[in-house]
Amino acid sequence: MGKLSTFKIVFSKNKDKYRPGDVVEGHVAIEIKDGMKVKGIYLECVGEASVGWSESQPTTSEKNRRNHIRYYKANETYFKYERELMKRSTERRGSISVNEGSYMYPFSFRLPPHIPSSFEGPLGHIRYWVTGTVEKNWGSDHVSRVDLTVTNPLDLNLERDAPVSQTDSAEAILCCLCCRTGPITCVFSLDHAGYVPGEFIKILGEIVNTSTRKIGSTSARLLMHCEYTAESKTKSHTECISEVKRGSIKPGGRDRWEGDSLLVPDTPTSYLRGCSIINVSYWVELVVHPSGPAFNLKVPLKVIIGTIPLRKPGEPAPGPSGLCPLKPHLAGLSTLPRKSLPATAFCKEHLPNVPENPEEATKTSPTPENHNDVSDSGPGTMQDSILTSSSSNNIKTEVGTFSGVHPKQPPHYHHADQIMGRYGRSKRRVSSHQ
């Protein structure tokens, strides 16, 4: 029985970050030892959003007063492409015998426009991935999956509130036993509301402590507020993604924030436009932490996180790329990475018809043996498959032997760019190859 020693998906130029409307190109690399029988090889490309959580609710039955668990779920599919890399056997127990060797199957598809940015949250996510499957007649199918990141650009120059300065204030009166003390006053300002990852938010504020209590500390923090919607119910979650702190303030004292910097990390854009079940907004809070038993005093201001920064007066508009590059110090930061759109066909015009290295020759391979006399000579079968060695992706492969072919013959390119479509298949157990 043969063995699948290599099965992986490689994007062209090792690119894994895209924008809506971009073309995703790459190839599936497979290496087989001693030959093996398969029912077919296919590729699936999916983009979807999913939301889910559970809540404990009391029952109305008098006999059973225990709480029951209610589950809330919602999903959106933005696209789903399926493509045959090797034509599947039409026989119920039919199989195609694949000889020992290395094979490369190119693919290309275009992302739909207006899809939302990738996102990962505690109650939901937006994900995009490509999955390759080697389907077998018996046992576990072989599966390889690679995720890709999508960023939907948000131009802050098109947002009306992004260049506008903001100011707010609040005060709190502390109580000590039966005595009331003077108030704690906090004034907070931002010179504008729009920022991109890598920029610094300048904090402008003043805290005046006219109470008889000491203020333990003050802090400014950037909050990401997420709202998840499922079955007409919305659940929210807020987390701090960046923070800067300052020290204590004595009774009768004051402290001024005069431009302290709060870093904006690599994070999804505001709104998550294109998704109707997840919404993201951002807030900057100036927080006063009194010592002893007391509530914190908070002054929040809403900000907008985009991908294209605000332009200064007289500054030209950015080029067609649109995206703002991250600052060098953000290289190690991790990403906090509508109804179904119509799935369009694979973009055949973008599918490469020649190897990435034009200096390597291609050669037509002999027809593999079909154990059920499946000799369809249509496109996508092994009969018109062409093998070639990998080049720009630096995958070292060695071709084995078809019947009557020297084992040192260079690998060929297997073209299956004319077979495409959506088809049903039965559920199978799968084993992953990364």
What pLDDT was estimated at residue 143?
A: 92
What pLDDT was estimated at residue 37?
A: 83
**pLDDT-derived band of residue 403, with 50, 70 and 90 as boundaries?**
very low
pTM of the model: 0.69
430 vs 79, higher pLDDT: 79
Q: Which of 290, 322, 354 is the last residue of a domain?
A: 322
Residue 71 lies in a domain: yes
Q: Are residues 168 and 90 in the same domain?
A: no
**pLDDT-derived band of residue 317, with 50, 70 and 90 as boundaries?**
low
Share of the chain above pLDDT 70, in %: 67
What pLDDT was estimated at residue 384?
A: 37
What pLDDT was estimated at residue 65?
A: 66
Q: Is the pLDDT of residue 125 over 80?
A: yes
Which residues contact residue 256 at a Cβ distance below 8 angstroms, ignoring those fewer than 6 apart?
205, 206, 207
What pLDDT was estimated at residue 89?
A: 59
Alpha carbon of residue 378 to chain centroid:
37
Look up the CATH number of the domain holding residue 397.
Answer: 2.60.40.640
Q: Are residues 160 and 308 in the same domain?
A: yes
**pLDDT-derived band of residue 88, with 50, 70 and 90 as boundaries?**
low
Mean pLDDT across 240-251: 94
What pLDDT was estimated at residue 100?
A: 86
Place of tokens 């690679």: 146
Q: Are residues 80 and 176 in the same domain?
A: no
38 vs 407, higher pLDDT: 38
Residue 350 lies in a domain: yes
Q: Any long-range contacts for 237-246 (C-beta under 8 Å, 24+ apart)? A: 237/121, 237/122, 237/123, 241/265, 241/267, 241/336, 243/219, 244/203, 244/219, 244/220, 245/217, 245/218, 245/219, 246/217, 246/218, 246/219
Q: Is the pLDDT of residue 350 over 80?
A: no
Alpha carbon of residue 99 to chain centroid:
37
Mean pLDDT across 378-389: 35
What pLDDT was estimated at residue 369?
A: 44
333 vs 317, higher pLDDT: 317
333 vs 200, higher pLDDT: 200
Mean pLDDT of the chain: 76
Q: Are residues 19 and 131 in the same domain?
A: yes
Q: Which of 293, 322, 351 is the last residue of a domain?
A: 322
Q: Are residues 317 and 176 in the same domain?
A: yes
What pLDDT was estimated at residue 394?
A: 38
Residue 327 lies in a domain: no
Q: Is the pLDDT of residue 9 over 70?
A: yes
In this structure, the chain runs to a length of 434
What pLDDT was estimated at residue 179?
A: 60
Residue 222 lies in a domain: yes
Nearest CA-CA partner of 252 in 291, 287, 213 = 213
What pLDDT was estimated at residue 63?
A: 64
Q: Is the pLDDT of residue 319 over 80?
A: no
Backbone angles phi, psi at 173, to 5 degrees: -110, 120
Residue 9 lies in a domain: yes
What pLDDT digit, counting tens, does each position of 170-197 carry?
Answer: 998 876 655 667 789 999 999 999 999 9
Q: Are residues 114 and 145 in the same domain?
A: yes
What pLDDT digit, counting tens, does each position of 47-59 carry?
Answer: 999 999 999 887 7
What pLDDT digit, counting tens, does each position of 194-241 carry?
Answer: 999 999 999 999 999 998 888 999 999 999 999 999 998 999 999 999
Tally of domains in the chain: 2
Q: Which of 322, 351, 385 is the last residue of a domain?
A: 322
Place of tokens 């093996």: 36
Q: Is the pLDDT of residue 379 over 60?
A: no
Q: Are residues 298 and 211 in the same domain?
A: yes
Give first-to-last CA distance, the chain, whole Å. 21
What pLDDT was estimated at residue 174?
A: 79
Share of the chain above pLDDT 90, in %: 50
Contact 246, 262 (CB under 8 A): no
Q: Are residues 188 and 300 in the same domain?
A: yes
What pLDDT digit, counting tens, does each position of 99-124 carry?
Answer: 888 999 999 999 999 999 999 999 99
What pLDDT digit, counting tens, does each position of 38-48 carry?
Answer: 888 899 999 99
Q: What is the extent of the structural domain holding 135?
A: 3-153+341-432
What pLDDT digit, counting tens, does each position of 258-311 carry?
Answer: 989 999 999 999 999 999 999 999 999 999 998 877 889 999 999 999 999 999
Determine the Cα angle at 340 with ends 304 and 78, to 5°: 60
Residue 310 lies in a domain: yes
Q: Are residues 116 and 256 in the same domain?
A: no
What pLDDT was estimated at residue 399?
A: 34
Q: Are residues 296 and 184 in the same domain?
A: yes
Q: Are residues 170 and 146 in the same domain?
A: no
What pLDDT was estimated at residue 274?
A: 94
Residue 133 lies in a domain: yes
Contact 386, 413 (CB under 8 A): yes
Mean pLDDT across 157-162: 95
What pLDDT was estimated at residue 90?
A: 60
What pLDDT was estimated at residue 38?
A: 85
Residue 330 lies in a domain: no
Contact 360, 389 (CB under 8 A): yes
Q: Are residues 149 and 182 in the same domain?
A: no
What pLDDT was estimated at residue 73?
A: 96
Structure tokens at 399: 């071709």
